[in-house]
Amino acid sequence: MQYDPNNIFAKILRGEIPCHKIYEDQHTLAFMDVMPQVEGHCLVIPKHPSRNLLDADPIALAHLMTTVQKIATAAKKALNADGIQIRQYNEEAGGQTVFHLHVHILPMKIGMPMKKHTGKMADNALLAKQAQIITALVK
């Protein structure tokens, strides 16, 4: 399968669709998931066009995972989480729904269940606040 330059994350990278940005450098962008499964659910994407892990440039993967570590560390602290779950899906059969490489960062608290992915968007003000708190802790 080919990379589709009109996927939603490519549109976010081009500034055609807004996001609640947490962090950006020349290689990656991190932002809040608008349909979070837990409080503080973040996404990290490479700026290099990649459909998923299977076709990604190894150098882009290295930059991506460096940013994932930064954001996961900040999100855990910002949300006072007990742990972090990292998820990454590849192709439809593997659970991928947006065909631009992305990594989910889920701050987890003991005893707090994860919400189902219903397609319902979260409150923008809440996402903006969470992004601001996480951003302040990114090192």
C-beta of residue 96 within 8 angstroms of C-beta of residue 90: yes
Q: Is the pLDDT of residue 118 over 90?
A: no
pTM reported for the whole predicted model: 0.96
C-beta of residue 71 within 8 angstroms of C-beta of residue 79: no
- Strands annotated E in the chain: 21-24, 28-32, 42-46, 83-87, 103-108
Domains of the chain: 8-135 (3.30.428.10)
Given 20, 41, 102, 104, which residue is catalytic?
Answer: 102
Q: Model confidence over 18-50: pLDDT tens digits?
A: 999 999 999 999 999 999 999 999 999 999 999
Verify whether residue 102 is a known catalytic residue: yes
